[in-house]
Amino acid sequence: MKLSFFGAAKLVTGSNYLLETNNHKILIDCGLFQGSKAIKAKNYEEFPYKPSEIDFLLLTHAHIDHSGRIPLLYKKGFKGEVICTNATKGLCQIMLPDSGHIQEMNVKYKNRKRTRAGLELLSPLYTIEDAYSCLNKFTGVQYNSTIKLTDSITLRYRDAGHILGSASIEVWVEENNKQTKLIFSGDLGKDNTPIINDPYLFKECDFLLMESTYGNKYHEFKSNSTERMFQVIEETLSKGGSVIIPSFSVGRTQEMIYAFNKIETIKEKWQKIKNVSVYVDSPLAISATEVFKDNIESFDDEAKQYILNGDNPLDFDNLIFTRSTEESKSINYNKNPKIIISASGMCDAGRIKHHLKHHLWEKENTILFVGYQAHGTLGRLLVDGAEKVKIFGETINVKARIEMIDGFSGHGDIENLDKFLGSFTKKPSIVFLVHGEIDQLNGFSKRINEKFNMKTIIPDIGECYEIQSVSDKKTIINVDRTITDNTYKRLELLNYVAKLKEEISDITELISYDVINKLDEDEISKTIDYYEKIDDNISDLITLVEESKNE
């Protein structure tokens, strides 16, 4: 059989793997590429296989970088079944239409500009409609049950401890009278993540596809992150300030609600927090919380115990959900100290921007980050200590206290991933390392070789591996790199050139005499620095191309 890597290879987004057996074509995940413009451009490339020929899609979990291209796959002719856990199905029912909405909004904005410039209009990657239409392809399954998918393929979904519904998938393939077992780890969480079960520990397989996000990193402050969070909140409330928590709508927000609910049961400590209003201001987070409540069979024992005791672990007295825009606005009219949990987690979109605008300039308030902040986002600027930021075109002084609590990551670190690998009594013949940046992949690979004595491969995007079972136990591998020819890279280069052209025209439009007059000395020097860097790079590029032209 063949295994190809079409996303999240030497990258953390766009998860997409293709397993081809004698009789079937099966995809594992079909996620959106997220991040820089060049990476996002991959979403617009044709799928490197015919979507109409795919029989099944096995989905590890609902995060958009794993599920976000399913509506597109469907739009391009996929007619098969999407198989995932019941909770993942529930979350996709809200997250994929939300993603469709974002896709539509993105082009709406660009098209307004293009209409004025007389350019051809863009169409969205997919629409809300497309997203709704593909949802009837989803089949929900239960954790730990064995599913006979076809005569030759059997599956089992196990807890991955990453978000509600997340799974590692076991796949058994019968081919040429031999059985081969593959495990797709999906994104792996940590032990003791609130609400959900710990990652399942496997004993054996022939081939393992393993995520590597933090393959070479330890998380700081793992054990006491909730305690630290409450401490910061108490200090802020004591000064009469409010706490703004930018949080991912699915998973992290529910984890926060769960933590606040627990406080209710700890009567003596955290008196101030107990009496203050906690707002969850994100329609997606509110819908996701409903999905959580519908899937209590996926909860861990502790969360189930709350329910048995008559407590809803995702609700408490002073919790207020604000769905409508009016409700959202009214939060900021009321000047009493409060806690606001809102999205997006990295502050680059959504209602959180309004709350930052209203709270950043007052020193009594705290902005409390509980998730990863990528380069280039407003959240990252704040975490890095920006003194002024621009929100909705307005310059805002940053006077509030900025705190980052690192311990809430949804991904396991070295300790967790090593525990996962250490549980194998029959070692996989090959561990394919995916879903990681290159430094994490390299460090992880080296450690796996040395510590676990397992063979590793870090596949490139577009690579195809022919995997075979030879004799009874040994499994060997033939590598077929034919799919990775240079065409792929060449196309990518053309993409960059087109993007650059667009970006330069954007800058030309943006930087007028008026705008330059508004910049202060510092901003002018920074802008000049940027230009010099760009200029240097472009000169190097021209030299390189000119030289090869003359060869």
Chain residues that interact with Zn ion, rule: CB under 5 A: 63, 187
Q: Is the dihedral of CA 248, 250, 252, 257 positive or negative?
A: positive
- Is-contact 76 101, C-beta < 8 A? no
Least gap, CB of 288 to Zn ion (angstroms) = 14
For residue 238, report the phi and psi dihedrals to the nearest 5 degrees. -60, -30
What is the nearest approach in angstroms of Zn ion to the Cβ of residue 433?
16
State which residue, 33 or 172, has the beta carbon closest to Zn ion: 33
The least distance separating Zn ion from the CB of residue 388, rounded to whole angstroms, comes to 33
Tell me the C-alpha distance between 372 and 164, whole Å.
19
Q: Which is nearer to Zn ion, 170 or 187 (CB)?
A: 187
Amino acid in the structure at residue 503:
E
User: Rounded distance, CA 149 to CA 47, Å?
Assistant: 24
Element housing 211 (H / E): strand 207-211
CB of 60 to Zn ion, least distance (A): 8
- Which DSSP category does 426 fall into? B
Of 467, 509, 260, 283, nearest to 370 by C-alpha is 260
Whether the CB-CB separation of 187 and 31 falls below 8 Å is answered with no
Nearer to Zn ion, 63 or 89 (CB): 63
User: How far is the C-alpha of 242 from the C-alpha of 528, rounded, in Å?
Assistant: 38
Q: Are 341 and 284 in contact (CB under 8 A)?
A: no
Least distance to Zn ion, CB of residue 15, Å? 9
Give the C-alpha separation, 433 to 214, whole Å. 12
Shortest Cβ 95–Zn ion spacing (Å): 11
Structure tokens at 235: 């200090």
Residue closest to Zn ion (Cβ): 63
Supply the minimum distance, in Å, between the C-beta of residue 528 and Zn ion.
Answer: 40
- The answer to whether 261 touches 310, Cβ cutoff 8 Å, is no
CA 358-359-360 angle, to 5 degrees, is 110
Instruction: Say if residue 145 is exposed, middle or buried (CB neighbours under 10 Å; 0-12, 13-18, 19+).
Output: exposed
Closest CB to Zn ion among residues 159, 187: 187
- Choose between 166 and 365: whose C-beta lies nearer to Zn ion: 166
347 with 382: CB under 8 angstroms?
yes
Residue 222 CB, nearest distance to Zn ion (Å)?
18
